[in-house]
Structure 1
């Protein structure tokens, strides 16, 4: 993400006079360098094309313009910036060990790199939080579906917080310190070896977000498991005892005088509307009509509950995949960055650190492929773009909600 391992520790400007920077060309053969260059360029192209597809899908498919899906769009924009700006500028620097583009562009690259990578992490937290609300607080979440200002504010806040975490330090560290510790032919942040700053920043950038998304996922799975247990024990359609069935399902028991839930109120009001006809036809017709109505309502209530539970299961699984990929890609880099800062780069081999650095960027390449894997709406939108002839005559029916 943020720093190059092509540099050596720079504690003073005179260090390069006695020990010049060792470039990868002195470690690898020409064939290996060409292979590395091809892999880096390929990764950049995959990142650009994948996230471009997500952005294009939002533009062309109105079904994707759902309140929660805008957070995926925000994530795609940050990942797209990684592929179109951060990776291409870093490739020649990684291969040669020398920055040839000047100090101004170096500062811009550092600001963009820190900004978009941090925004990508914060977007994953925001997506997890939104899914957490949709599963555990479904009623209040649906009540805010039409409010677009709230998601827009959250999306802007993500970029503001991401900028404030690293970018002021990138821009003004050397001015506050009074001198620069970065060589002329290198490009990395001034706090590259400041262990205290790296520990604090990494905590806010990775460890706190990881704890938050873990907390949200645990509550989502706990909520789903609780509803599954409740549904298996309190199956409205197959319960043998009618009084237990009505009580477990939140419906009024036969003969109950005062309903105690929204479902009971609905059945009670509908039953009262049928009452004149039932009385006219005699007591037996009244009882059969009321019982049939309650059974129909119970079946509808159970069907809707089961559909919501299945949708929430898909949400939980897709979110778990995205979060696990995020943790795998970010954890090695975050840990090694802190360790390397503490020992000033002497205890971590630069090749190992470079591998974790690219693993972090791979997360931006994988995210677009996780969307169609986990979300049917994204899959259908991608098919419309890539294979429009196959969907020229779509069958009637509702698009799945995920």
Structure 2
């Protein structure tokens, strides 16, 4: 019953992802094409690999013959390996979208390049195990697989499995960890820069604004001239009053010169225009900085979501693949004598559980997939949502 449930969930979930691409054109972005490639791998695992393995587990014998055994092995290794390589490709693509955003956006419309990468994943996945499965017995001169069993000829060859594991799991896992760490450090750096800009905007004073702008400097000079002129006018009035009281205390010629110089002071603006000019310059600069900050905030928020979704997918990948890879290497080293069959079988099924879990992660981590799934499964709900949003 659990095996049948796993098959149903794997096939239905990944079929839904593929249908979403057909139904929703907005999903057809470069990164989502790689998710589609992963869904195809996982769908075929549920539709072909698991159903053929179930009778083998239940009866303890392979009943489909040697030819179908080889085909099943080639397809199973191919699909599982392509899933791993697809996760690496998705991680690399997300890494570029965050750390080299401008160059990444420039090539978003290049579907041909995306398709080429998808094909390369399948070719490399086949080359890793396919030729060995097909030709191992011919190169070695004999088959070591007993009648009624189905596994690869290199199943107990420690050197081959160690090399293949390095290429299939350890190198990909280290790569995706590096991409994740780079994305995290990039986001931390940009968050700090954004906070610095925020504090700079809020700490700027009127003096700083006027000192940085020639026009504001002119406005400030106007204010100073006007203040000086007012002071001089007041002094002149006092002097005239004193002269009227005591004519000998001040020369009339000096009074005329002082009055003449005062009249020559540049009266370029009043206090109101001075404040308005400086205020306008300050406001324009603040609006520009705030606008840039809003754009950066939007991109930063989007990249944080990308990092979280990628971390979840990669985390599940590590949990599902690490036990199988380690047990396979240990098992090959001791020729199956030191690892219980139960633990090996459990780790083997974890690989296929990963194929069933991936479609569940898409709607949890990507709002675009969530909308597409609702569009397919509950189209009426999607139509009601905008009306409900307007009411609120």
Name the TM-score, length of structure 2 as normaliser: 0.80
SS at 1:359 equivalent:
helix
1:314 counterpart residue number: 305
Supply the distance in 2 between the matched residues of 1:242 and 1:343 (Cα, whole angstroms). 74
Which of the pair has more CA radius of gyration? 2
Q: C-alpha distance in 1, partners of 2:302/2:71?
A: 43
1:3-402 equivalences in 2 (<5 Å): 38-235=1-198, 238-241=201-204, 254-255=212-213, 287-395=278-386
How much has 1:94 moved relative to structure 2?
1.2
In 2: Cα distance, 1:302 partner to 1:102 partner: 65
C-alpha distance in structure 2 between counterparts of 1:39 and 1:199, whole Å: 32
Query: What are the Cα deviations for residues 12-41 of structure 1, in whole angstroms up to 9, with x where unaligned?
Result: xxxxxxxxxxxxxxxxxxxxxxxxxx1111
Aligned length: 333
Give the Cα separation in 2 of the matches to 1:108 and 1:339.
26
CA distance, structure 2, for counterparts of residue 113 and residue 320 of structure 1: 26
| SS of match in other structure, 2:203 | coil
More moved, 231-240 vs 194-203: 231-240
Q: Which has the higher mean CA deviation after the structures are superposed, 156-165 or 229-238?
A: 229-238
Give yes or no for contact 1:118–1:205 (8 Å, CA) kept in 2. Answer: yes
Q: 1:291: how far off?
A: 3.0
Q: Which string of whole-angstrom CA distances, capped at 9 and with x for unpartnered residues, describes residues 282-326 of structure 1? A: 876654443332222111101000011111111000100000000
Give the whole-Å Cα distance in 2 for the aligned partners of 1:242 and 1:111: 70
Q: Contact between 1:128 and 1:319, CA under 8 Å: does it hold in 2?
A: yes
Q: Distance in 1 between matches of 2:332 and 2:364?
A: 37
Q: Gaps spanning 5+ residues in structure 2: where?
A: 216-272
- The 1-side partners of 2:35 and 2:179 are apart by 17
Q: 1:332 to 1:352 in 2, by over 3 A?
A: same
- Cα shift readout 1:38-88 (whole Å, capped 9, x = no counterpart): 111110111000000100111101111111111100000000010000000
On the 8 A contact 2:201/2:289 being kept in 1, the answer is: no
User: Aligned equivalents of 1:52 and 1:146: distance in 2?
Assistant: 25
Change over 3 Å in CA distance of 1:237–1:331 after alignment to 2: same
Q: Does the C-alpha gap of structure 1 residues 308 and 199 become closer, same or farther in structure 2, counting only changes over 3 Å?
A: same
Give RMSD over aligned pairs: 2.4
Counterparts of 1:42 and 1:109, CA distance in 2: 21
What whole-Å deviation, never above 9, does each CA across 1:323-348 have from its counterpart, x for those lacking one?
A: 00000000000000000001110111
The answer as to whether partners of 2:201 and 2:286 remain within 8 angstroms in 1 is no
Deviations 1:212-252 (A, max 9, x none): 00000001001111111222232167521259999xxxxxx
Shift in Å, 1:254:
2.9
Please tell me whether the aligned partners of residues 44 and 87 of structure 1 are also in contact (alpha carbons under 8 angstroms). yes
1:143, CA displacement in angstroms? 1.1
Distance 2:214 2:316 in 1: 52
Q: 1:291 & 1:244 partners in 2: Cα distance?
A: 10
Q: Is the 8 A contact 2:31 2:90 kept in 1?
A: yes
Name the CA distance, whole Å, in 1 between partners of 2:42 and 2:144: 30
3-state DSSP of counterpart to 1:323: helix
Counterpart CA distance in 2 for 1:164 and 1:244 is 68
Aligned-partner Cα distance in 1 for 2:332–2:388: 57
Q: Is the 8 A contact 1:237 1:298 kept in 2?
A: no
